[in-house]
Structure 1
């Protein structure tokens, strides 16, 4: 299993596009519609994951 990232990504809007910058130089550029849908899906998955158990201990944000 990959070690989960504990720091949130940084989203910015520029020239009509949304860029999500993550750890280790990972970056994704999306249209506004794709970014909005991705955000909704991330929120839904985060809500679902909160109700699940894990053996991994995460440091606080």
Structure 2
């Protein structure tokens, strides 16, 4: 898996294009239409990933609670 970054990318509009400056020197210029579609995809997958993280944290909390109340043998 790639390195996971915590900082958001810088996004600007210039001469009818959308410019994205990301981590590690990533630089992309796209049309406004491509930027809007990318934004939709990012929003969708960000919500999905957040749900996965919440579910994982919930599962871990449940495991800890079960271990804490496990009866002695």
| Structure with greater proportional helix content | 2
Aligned-pair RMSD on alpha carbons?
A: 1.1
Question: Normalized against structure 1, the TM-score is what?
Answer: 0.82
Structure 2 gaps of 5+ residues are 57-73
Structure 1 gaps of 5+ residues are 55-61
Give how far 1:3 is off.
1.9
Tell me: higher relative CO, structure 1 or 2? Use CA pairs within 8 A at least 6 residues apart: 1
Q: How many residues align?
A: 54
Task: Point out the structure with max Rg over C-alpha.
Answer: 2
